[in-house]
Amino acid sequence: MIVRHGISRRRRVALASLGSVLLLVATVAVDVDLAAAQSSPSVAHGAQVFNNNCQICHGVFAQGRMGPPLLPLPPEIAQAPREDLIPELTGLVRSGIPGAMPRFEAEQVSDDDVGALVDWFLFMNAQPRAGRSFYEALAPVPAVQSNDNLTYVAATQHTISYGFKQFYDQQGGAVRFGNP
């Protein structure tokens, strides 16, 4: 057995293999904009249009912020033909939603930009997501027995756990923050 710097050849091969796996994982988990850019020019353009015009309200990955989450797309939208989605999104972009979403003039977001946005949304919707969606996270959960690490709140049908529970409890709980 050859040993260099206290590490056997077998261990160096294992570490190199682990390094390759980690590099592969890091490559797969690379920025979505890069994946979008590699998928098609239209998707890459849609990512840019979203980042420049929509991200401020809808969040970095359209997960919601001040504006509602846009992804994942509801099945009836995700399964609709692209050609049907473009006029719908164009109408929304041009009209806005009074008091909720600004309207964008054609000089701000062109018809080609809207088509690219549709391509980006469809691309992003097809990407795997970790965890639950915004709407899934808001859904009530079944009643569970509270313990030191978890509190079930019947009034809201939600739980609070671990570090969040600890902070919540230490800082005044429902009296200060309301029910989770």
**Furthest-apart CA atoms within the chain: distance in Å:** 74
Please write down the long-range contacts of 127-133, taking CB distance under 8 Å and 24 or more positions apart: 127/32, 127/35, 129/71, 129/72, 133/63, 133/69, 133/71, 133/72
Taking the domain 32-131, which CATH number applies?
A: 1.10.760.10
Cβ contacts of residue 140 below 8 Å, gap of 6+? 156, 157, 158
Q: What is the pLDDT of residues 68-88, one digit of tens each?
A: 889 989 999 999 999 999 999
| Contact predicate 132/126, CB 8 Å | no
pLDDT tops 70 at residue 6: no
pLDDT at 132: 72
Return the domain boundaries, the chain: 1-30, 32-131, 140-177
pLDDT at 70: 92
Please state the rounded mean pLDDT for residues 41-59.
95
Amino acid (one-letter) located at 122: L
CA distance 105 to 123: 25
Please state the rounded mean pLDDT for residues 50-60.
93
pLDDT tops 70 at residue 23: no
Cα-based angle 24, 25, 29 (whole degrees, multiple of 5):
120
